[in-house]
Amino acid sequence: MSSNIDELVFLHQIAAPCHLAILAESIGLKTRIVKHAAELELEKKSNNFYLISQKGAALDSKGIPLLVSRLVEHVPVALYQVERGSLDQESALLQGVRGLLYSDQRMDLMLTGLRKMVADELWYDRPLISKIFRRLVQQLDTRTEIPADTVAILQRLTNRERTIIQLVSSGARNKEIAQRLCISEHTVKAHISSIFRKTESRNRVELLRWAQTYQSHWELVS
């Protein structure tokens, strides 16, 4: 499996073995398990991906580990060993968490989710992503003046790139986008890299936020 991730760092604060780390190693990913939050070292020059266990963590009122708000500003973060019904998924997504792996999830689904997240995709239910996107777009005031630099970005986006942004915003993953547009996954990745560069987004979460803010203006900028 190809990945741009140097290492998966698991914050695993319970006594039970970290089975997800074993799964990750089975697909060729380098892993490191940390038992205490104080041991985490944010190496900004590295390309690590952080997975935080909900079990054993201090949580906020939404069920999200308190540590997440500090990490997401610097590194990609996902949550695992999440108990269903104990966490506000929408809050996690809007906070910047890449995805959720549930404690009762089948191993094959966990592995699929892990693959997607390290490939810079989100791992949430598609209806949730679509719901958030639609609601926030509806809240926008389209009469607000668009900054000149944003107009320039919108003008640089090709029609194909705009279509891909819409598909990403609906929750579609690379394979689904490729099938919908009759192109290869490699071509999809190339388009998404171009979109990231043009919108100054570092990942899908930032692109989703950008699209939430400006997609309603597309028809106003030719």
Task: List, edge to edge, every strand of the sheet that includes 77-82.
Answer: 31-34, 7-11, 48-53, 77-82, 100-102
What are the φ and ψ backbone dihedral angles of 169, each rounded to 5 degrees?
-65, -25
At 205, the pLDDT band (50, 70, 90 cuts) reads confident
pLDDT tens-digit profile of 147-200? 667 677 777 888 899 889 888 888 888 999 999 899 999 999 999 999 999 988
What is the C-alpha separation between 89 and 35, in angstroms, rounded? 25
Instruction: Tokens 């970005």: give the residue.
Output: 153
pLDDT, position 215: 64
At 83, the pLDDT band (50, 70, 90 cuts) reads very high
Which domains does the chain carry?
7-124 (3.40.50.2300), 130-220 (1.10.10.10)
| Residue 76 CA to its chain's centroid (Å) | 8
pTM (whole model) above 0.75: no
What DSSP letter does each residue of 128-164 carry, written as one string?
Answer: HHHHHHHHHHHHS-TTSPPPHHHHHHHHHS-HHHHHH
pLDDT tens-digit profile of 115-157? 889 888 889 988 888 887 777 666 555 545 666 676 777 778 8
What is the C-alpha separation between 201 and 195, in angstroms, rounded? 8
| Tokens (6 digits) for 212 | 């939430």
Q: Computed over its alpha carbons, how large is the radius of gyration of the chain?
A: 18
